């Protein structure tokens, strides 16, 4: 069976080089009895690979069982795996066969094997070395013919250094290691997976399939996906249920899944791949940087206005009064705001950018056009009031927005008798 046929049979979506390498390794080792250690973050599909290995092996007609080692209490895991005799401990009213006895001839998948207690690790090592185990409370040695596939989302070498995992067991388990890449390392597969999950949900609930516009695709591809495929499926389900529109825009995506704004710029990519970084991503990166520069420029402008009392320095031989006659503070502020708003319309919002007077999520802060005849105190008071309203009275964030220290803002609030 070739690679594409296996993908179709086991519903594996993706064409990244790392995924294909992991899948090819699984196919090669499947028809042997070698122990396999599957490594990868939570949600990447380690159990899918374990079932694939079992069903492509000569044991496919025998039992397969998946055991989460972290979900079984330390006091009962030995009994669960190896069984116990009647009276072996309080509550053991009858003898019980463990998984290594009931799944004889089949495959046992030990998920999160790094959480297995040290005494259980010693018993497992004996099974791996000579196929022998002993029930809890018994002295009789029993034999089993079980293939073990283990999986972990932590670095077992770190566990070894911490004396929480046996080094000899690690080398027995990792006869054939398989690393499944996280979703952020295969960005070219994210949209394929999104479409697949969207179709599945549409069929399940007999509803139209959701789709992403171009800006939404950029956000989806550049999100870090710490929960990997499991998290992506959850997001698709949420969008399918909560969105009235079937075409998901960037704004709608941010509204329903706010964390999607945690972008990774520049975009992560596989250097060995022939694909190039999307030009649109580079443009967005440039626009984000430009927006930060505009924010810093506005802060600098406000500082100059405050510290110089609106008296602009003489430029060369140009008379200062003549300059002030052709230069209006609110004109420059409005031009900065106008340019900044244009950037805001064309790029997705990002948490790390804090800019005065911008639209964020569902709230809009209108740019107030000030009368040119207002004096400095009135203009400064209005700016403080607007910043406090914007941040719901939080002085620290308002002060940061205004480019002032919190102490200075507190003094000016008292000076202008501003009520919160």
The domain 184-261 having CATH identifier 1.10.10.60: the answer here is no
Residue pLDDT, tens place only, 200-214: 999 999 999 999 999
The domain 3-181 having CATH identifier 3.40.50.300: the answer here is yes
Output the pLDDT for position 270: 43
Tell me the C-alpha distance between 300 and 298, whole Å.
5
Taken in order 223, 226, 228, 232, the sign of the CA dihedral is: negative
User: DSSP letters of 203-262?
Assistant: HHHT-PPPEE-HHHHHHHHHB--TTHHHHHHHHHHHHHHH-SSSEE-HHHHHHH-GGGG-
The CATH number of the structural domain formed by 374-420 is 1.10.10.60
Print burial letters for 50-76: b (CB count within 10 Å at least 16), e (below 16). bbbbbebbebeebebebbebeebeeee
CA atoms within 13 A on the CB side of 183: 26
Domain ranges of the chain: 3-181, 184-261, 278-358, 374-420
pLDDT at 56 over 80: yes
Tell me the C-alpha distance between 404 and 398, whole Å.
9
The pLDDT of 322-344, averaged and rounded, is 53
Output the pLDDT for position 320: 46
Residue pLDDT, tens place only, 252-290: 999 999 988 875 544 444 434 334 445 555 565 566 666
Output the pLDDT for position 386: 84
Output the pLDDT for position 380: 78
**Where are the extended beta strands (E) located within 155-212?**
176-179, 211-212
Output the CA–CA distances (angstroms, integers) from residue 350 to 185, 256, 367, in the order listed.
22, 15, 20
Output the pLDDT for position 169: 97
The encoded tokens of residue 108 equal: 């046992």
Q: 84 by DSSP, 3-state: which?
A: strand
Tell me the C-alpha distance between 256 and 128, whole Å.
48
- Residue 371 or 31, more confident: 31
Output the pLDDT for position 391: 83
Q: 165 — phi, psi (to 5°)?
A: -145, 140
- Residue 334 or 76, more confident: 76
The encoded tokens of residue 217 equal: 């695709």
User: DSSP letters of 335-358?
Assistant: HHHHHHHHHHHHS---TT---TT-
Tell me the C-alpha distance between 72 and 74, whole Å.
6
């Amino acid at each position: 069976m070739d690679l594409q046929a296996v993908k179709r049979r086991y519903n594996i979506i993706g064409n990244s080089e790392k995924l294909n390498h992991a899948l090819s390794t699984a196919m090669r080792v499947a028809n042997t009895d070698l122990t396999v250690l599957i490594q990868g973050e939570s949600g990447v599909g380690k159990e899918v690979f374990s079932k694939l290995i079992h069903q492509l092996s000569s044991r496919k007609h025998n039992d397969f069982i998946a055991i989460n080692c972290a979900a079984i209490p330390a006091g009962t895991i030995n009994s669960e795996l190896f069984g116990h005799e009647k009276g072996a401990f309080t509550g053991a009213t009858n003898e019980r066969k463990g998984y290594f006895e009931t799944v004889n001839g089949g495959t046992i998948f030990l998920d999160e094997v790094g959480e297995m207690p040290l005494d259980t690790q010693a018993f497992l090592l004996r099974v791996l070395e000579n196929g022998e185990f002993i029930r809890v409370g018994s002295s009789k040695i029993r034999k089993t013919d079980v293939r073990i596939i283990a999986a972990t989302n932590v670095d077992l070498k770190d566990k070894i250094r911490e004396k929480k995992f046996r080094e000899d067991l690690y080398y027995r388990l990792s006869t054939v290691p398989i690393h499944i890449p996280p979703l952020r390392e295969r960005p070219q597969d994210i949209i394929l997976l999104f479409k697949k999950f969207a179709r599945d949900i549409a069929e399940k609930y007999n509803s139209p399939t959701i789709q992403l516009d171009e800006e939404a695709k950029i956000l989806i591809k550049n999100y870090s996906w710490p929960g990997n495929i499991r998290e992506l499926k959850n997001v698709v389900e949420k969008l399918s249920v909560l969105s009235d529109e079937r075409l998901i825009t960037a704004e709608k995506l941010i509204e329903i899944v706010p964390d999607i704004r945690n972008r990774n710029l520049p975009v992560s990519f596989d250097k060995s791949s022939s694909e190039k970084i999307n030009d649109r991503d580079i443009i967005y990166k440039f626009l984000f940087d430009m927006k930060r520069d505009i924010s810093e420029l506005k802060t600098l402008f406000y500082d100059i206005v405050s510290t110089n009392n609106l008296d602009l320095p003489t430029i060369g031989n140009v008379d200062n009064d003549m300059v002030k006659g052709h230069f209006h503070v609110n004109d420059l502020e409005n031009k900065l705001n106008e340019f900044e708003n244009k950037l805001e319309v064309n790029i997705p919002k990002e948490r790390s950018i804090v800019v005065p007077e911008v639209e964020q999520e569902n709230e809009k802060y209108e740019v107030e056009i000030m009368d040119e005849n207002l004096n400095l105190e009135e203009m400064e008071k209005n700016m403080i009031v607007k910043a406090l309203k914007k941040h719901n009275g939080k002085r620290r964030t308002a002060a940061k927005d205004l480019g002032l220290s919190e102490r200075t803002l507190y003094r000016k609030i008292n000076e202008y008798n501003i009520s919160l």
